[in-house]
Amino acid sequence: MLDKPKDAVLDREFKVVGSRPVRPDGVDKVTGRAKFGADVSAPGMLIGKVLRSPHPHARIHSIDIHAALAVPGVKAIVTRDDFAENKKHKDVLCNIMARDKALYEGHAVAAIAATTGAIARKALKLIKIDYDILPHVTDVDEAMADDAPILHDTMITRGVDPAPEKPSNVAQRFDFGHGDVEDGFAKADVIIERSFKTEAAHQGYIEPHACLASVTEDGHGELWCCTQGHYAVRDVCASLLGMEVSKLRVTASEIGGGFGGKTTVFLEPLALMMSRKTGRPIKMVMDRDEVFRASGPTASTSSWVKVGATKDGKITAASAEFRYQGGAFKGSPVQFGAMCAFACYALENVKTVGFDVVTNRPKQAAYRAPGAPMAAFAVESVIEELAIKLGIDPVEFRLKNAAAEGDTSSYGPKFPRIGLVETLEAAKAHEHYSAPLGPNQGRGIGSGYWFNFGGATSVSLNVHPDGTVALVVGTPDIGGSRASMNLMAAEELGIPYDKVNTIVADTASLGFNETSHGSRVTFASGLATIEAARNAKNECCARAAMIWEIEPDAVTWEDGCAKPAGANAGNFEPMTLADIAKIAEKTGGPISGHFEKNPAGAGASFATHMVDVEVDPDTGRVEILRFTVIQDAGKAIHPSYVEGQFQGGAVQGVGWALNEEYIYGADGKMQNPGFLDYRIPVCSDLPMIDTVIVEVPNPGHPYGVRGVGETGIVPPMAAIANAISAAAGVRMTELPMSPPKVLKAIDDANGSA
């Protein structure tokens, strides 16, 4: 089924890569020994708590902390006055501590450090804030209206020529595409045009944000926190605190889920500032309510999609407009949404427009393939509808238009080798695709795309005296990457998996590493691991050459051994890594390999999802009967964790599709900030998610790896909407497709029938 890789380097046989060993951090995690964000304490530490705005939009005239500061046990209070202006991280600063205005309900306005959490909480109530309440807006379309309350008086829309004269809530406009869509639509036999809305969903990580900060009198700081990127946390916090980067050491705890939401800071700068003020360690842990109200969910969106095709199934034009509100600050992922929207298709005429909009909601944070799922929900719904209208099998329709190597993507660059066609062919061939369905049941398809990123990466590999290996990476393990790194190092060195032990180093111990996001870790840290191992192997060969008294280039590394080659082949007994490690001290010193790079070549990953649902016509409840994820992994280093990523993306997609949403009242306050009212899928909501790993090697990685973490959340919403349409005959255009909405759609359809 799968193509052989074109590059002979990739067409290798792997010895340990592709196996499924037990993860090295597993036991610690199931026994409770692993340290998560809230598990770190320090002698003499204080507890920090945050006072948050009860108003979605209000000018802060004054903050009176005197009464709170007088409470016995209160050791420090920080407000906007404690943080200097910061040009580079202006929005982050304004988000972690409101400045002139509170911009959303939950926006931090002060923080207190006290000897106990109870004292801190009590004292919070004594802080007197003089608010001037302003009108608010939380819906993206309303925020774009002419008469909308304006969040930022100075926000002039960028990306529009000529620039608007008056401020608005639109931070930026993005335009992508090529060809002539008007011309394309004119050539179409069938056109489908629809509008869609999606609500904000939270990443729903089990572990709330937590940190422990300690700043000494001479300005050195240490920070332990749960984060996807402790280097980024370090750089931002150092900047906000006015510290040099070398003076702040950040250690990433184990992480109880992040999914993009733990790529920024919330509590960390507050804890550091209060530690600086008190000279004592400060611990801060959000409660769930705070996580919902004040950390970053993804954007809610409004969009419009129009696609036209000829009778024989060739798309002639595609156009879309996306409006994403990213909370109170610029930076919604609408750009990515607009770029990914039509990336699955090779199109002659395509145009997408994106608007980045601010509203009185918490600042959005990245959420798994940020921006892409909402666009795919809209586009893939229209694609499926179009296929059905044309009477073409939806997979066939996609295959007819699928992007492949050499095609110009809808957002500009040409695609290198990619695997969408292979996922579609795998879908078509899958038993699921032709399995029978019962009454009120339907099947839907959705495809999805995500770029995947590279990013700056540093890795060190150190050979121990007994020939076992320490691998040092700087990318927090958010999906089993320690196991994958072990596998790649072991593969390269020709030693068993369990001879390698990978750790995630703190920021003082290893060079810079970009955050664990963009599905970059197995690609970039993996590439650096392989290169570091190759450097160590070269050093091993040099040591063997020294022992054998031959030239270093007369030694090769094969099957975990240095072997004499060429004219010397067979003249000396091969030396294993352990043999060489044993004599390292005598032959020059410790053996290590290092690699630092910002690698290009992260290969995009495409997925096709297939889902069967049953819709209860009486309640509108949608049950997921069967779900198959088919995705291109390039090369699956540890197939179980690849499958886990596929499954995780699908499950989060199911939640977003069917139930998850931020519910705002007319007062601009979130009404469901807890897991009882914000409903994420639980086991009983889900079937086993089946997976098919497609392997179309990424030529940009020595083993062909592509990122796999994010693409899996892109197709589910559309696939489920398409399945609902097939099951119940209603086209859902708003997320979540919760029972009331589905029931209403069915009733409306019946009423109109």
Q: Which residue lies nearer to its own copies by CB, 463 or 555? A: 463
CB of 468 to its own copies, least distance (A): 3
Residue 2 sits in the site that holds its own copies (CB under 8 A): no
What is the distance between the alpha carbons of residues 229 and 73, in angstroms, rounded to a whole number?
33
**Closest by Cα among 620, 626, 604 to 746:** 620
Dihedral over alpha carbons 425, 430, 434, 439 (to 10 degrees)? -120
Residue 242 sits in the site that holds its own copies (CB under 8 A): no
Question: Which three-class secondary structure state does DSSP give residue 441?
Answer: strand
Which single residue is written with the structure tokens 């080659």? 565
Q: Which residue lies nearer to its own copies by CB, 217 or 431? A: 217
Residue 27 sits in the site that holds its own copies (CB under 8 A): yes
Alpha carbon of 450 to those of 135, 402, 537, 553, 690: distances in Å? 38, 15, 35, 42, 20
Which of 121, 534, 597, 621 binds its own copies (CB under 8 A)? It is: 597
Residue 591 sits in the site that holds its own copies (CB under 8 A): yes
343 φ/ψ angles, rounded to the nearest 5 degrees: -65, -20
Q: Which residue lies nearer to its own copies by CB, 169 or 264? A: 264
Residues 265-284 touching its own copies, rule: CB under 8 A, are: 279
What is the distance between the alpha carbons of residues 58 and 215, in angstroms, rounded to a whole number?
33
**Closest by Cα among 252, 221, 210 to 474:** 252
What is the distance between the alpha carbons of residues 311 and 303, in angstroms, rounded to a whole number?
26
Which of 19, 310, 501, 640 binds its own copies (CB under 8 A)? It is: 501
DSSP letter for each residue of 683-717? GGG---EEEEEE----TTSTT--B--TTGGGSSHH
Q: Which stretch binds its own copies (CB under 8 A): 50-58, 100-108, 371-379, 450-458?
A: 450-458
Residue 187 sits in the site that holds its own copies (CB under 8 A): no
Strands (E), 26-140: 46-52, 58-64, 74-78, 101-102, 108-114, 128-133
Residues 41-100 touching its own copies, rule: CB under 8 A, are: 43
CB of 581 to its own copies, least distance (A): 9
Print the binding letters for residues 286-305 with its own copies: x by CB under 8 A, - otherwise: --------------------
Residue 552 sits in the site that holds its own copies (CB under 8 A): no
Residue 456 sits in the site that holds its own copies (CB under 8 A): yes
Q: Which residue lies nearer to its own copies by CB, 278 or 608? A: 278
Q: Which stretch binds its own copies (CB under 8 A): 5-13, 31-39, 382-390, 723-731?
A: 31-39
Q: End-to-end CA distance of the chain, in Å?
A: 45
Which of 158, 247, 314, 621 binds its own copies (CB under 8 A)? It is: 247
Compute how many residues bind its own copies; rule: CB under 8 A: 61
Residue 583 sits in the site that holds its own copies (CB under 8 A): no
Residue 244 sits in the site that holds its own copies (CB under 8 A): yes
Which of 218, 312, 431, 559 binds its own copies (CB under 8 A)? It is: 218
Q: Which residue lies nearer to its own copies by CB, 35 or 432? A: 35
Sign (positive or negative) of CA dihedral 571, 577, 578, 582: positive
Q: In what order do the strands lie in the sheet with 210-215?
A: 74-78, 108-114, 46-52, 282-285, 210-215, 221-225, 248-252
Contact between residue 367 and residue 201 where contact means Cβ atoms under 8 Å apart? yes
Residue 214 sits in the site that holds its own copies (CB under 8 A): yes
Q: How many helices (H) and strands (E) does the chain have?
A: 19, 26
What is the distance between the alpha carbons of residues 261 and 257, in angstroms, rounded to a whole number?
9
Residue 39 sits in the site that holds its own copies (CB under 8 A): yes
CB of 377 to its own copies, least distance (A): 34
Residues 614-653 touching its own copies, rule: CB under 8 A, are: none
CB of 409 to its own copies, least distance (A): 23
Spell out the alpha helix ranges (H) of 305-363.
334-340
Residue 585 sits in the site that holds its own copies (CB under 8 A): yes
Footprint of its own copies (CB under 8 A): 22, 24, 26-28, 31, 33, 39, 43, 214, 216-218, 220, 235, 238, 244-247, 249, 279, 456-458, 460, 462-466, 468-470, 472, 499-501, 503, 505-513, 584-586, 588-592, 594, 596-599
